[in-house]
Structure 1
Amino acid sequence: MKKYCLVFSFVSLLYAFGAFAQLKSGEPFLKVTHITISVNNLDSMRQWYISMLNARVIRERHSDTLQYVRIGIGDFFIDMLQITGSQREPYQDLPVLQHMKIQGFRHLVFEPENFEKVYSDLKAKRIAFYNDQDVSNKTITHSVFFKDPEGNVLELHKDPAQ
């Protein structure tokens, strides 16, 4: 089951890197559309993303061994899979800064049109942030990190040039 999830992650990364290479070479651009995450509790994750990040449910499928939901945030999609027998690796539950030191795919980044409003709204919803707004070097990036209910690291990002 672990290999199945790694294959999904690897294919998604290849797709993203391929799109970037095509953009630089002038070839037609491939749009990155979604990411797939394996979850322990599909119902609670779906509800959290809907209530906290204003996601919308696009579609769902269910079988004896696989529960699936696609949610949309803007024009980006997150596919969530609850697969019987899947498990979380211990390194996935490290604190944010230690988590970032592990090589491989690390977190999902959201860049809202109004960073301050979204940050304030999430704080009002009792989202726990792992750094203050002013911790990052604002000449390079302006980011705050938080986690979803299953410990996946998420980031609100603001380009300082904007």
Structure 2
Amino acid sequence: MKTIGIHHIAIICSDYERSKKFYVDVLGFKIIKETFRAERDSYKLDLLINDNTQIELFSFPNTPLRVSNPEACGLRHLAFSVENIEETVTDLKLNDIDTENIRIDEITGKRFTFFKDPDNLPLEIYEV
């Protein structure tokens, strides 16, 4: 098997409008398509991160909470590349989003920090 990249990341949210605003207005992802699936009482929002990667944002009624943070078995966090970490942290804070202190990756020497989406999903920004 040979993979050539990540096509999409699927995220289930508890409050569709709040998460849509976060991922579109705060993080700046572009809407590709928004679909309401009446038989599931569910939205699916396809978002473009860059030319090759998308997020599928789903809403379902009565979704269970994340088991633990971030050390549950499975996906630990989602990391986004940024060119300027200070600028990105400032933008997040202007939108009332708290971030951890900027740290240095001891292996790569790159700077990074964490913040949360509206459902407390751990997200990382990593300076490239």
TM-score by length of 2: 0.82
* Per-residue CA distance 1:36-56 (angstroms, 9 max, x = gap): 111111111011111211111
* Total equivalences in the alignment: 124
- Counterpart Cα distance in 1 of 2:78 and 2:66: 18
**Structure 1 residues 121 and 84, CA, compared in 2 at 3 Å: closer, same or farther?**
closer
Match of 2:125 in 1: 156
Q: Which has the higher contact order (CA 8 A, sep 6+)?
A: 2
- Counterpart Cα distance in 1 of 2:43 and 2:124: 26
TM-score by length of 1: 0.67
Match of 2:87 in 1: 117
- Counterpart Cα distance in 2 of 1:150 and 1:127: 12
Find 2:59's aligned residue among 55, 61, 82: 82
2:15 matches 1:41: yes
| Residue 34 of structure 1, CA deviation | 0.9
- Counterpart Cα distance in 1 of 2:11 and 2:105: 30
Name the structure with the higher strand share: 2
Gaps of 5+ in 1: 1-17, 23-28
3-state SS in 2 of match to 1:71: strand
Note the aligned Cα RMSD (angstroms). 2.0
- Counterpart Cα distance in 2 of 1:120 and 1:39: 25
Find 2:29's aligned residue among 55, 72, 77: 55
Tell me the amino acid that sits aligned with residue 119 of structure 1. V
Whether the 8 Å CA contact 2:48–2:55 is kept in 1: the answer is yes
Find 1:71's aligned residue among 30, 47, 53: 47
| Residue 125 of structure 1, CA deviation | 2.2
Name the structure with the higher helix share: 1
Q: Comparing 138-147 with 51-60, which one deviates more in the overlay?
A: 138-147
| Residue 138 of structure 1, CA deviation | 5.4
Q: Which runs of 4+ in 1 moved over 6 A?
A: none
Gaps of 5+ in 2: none
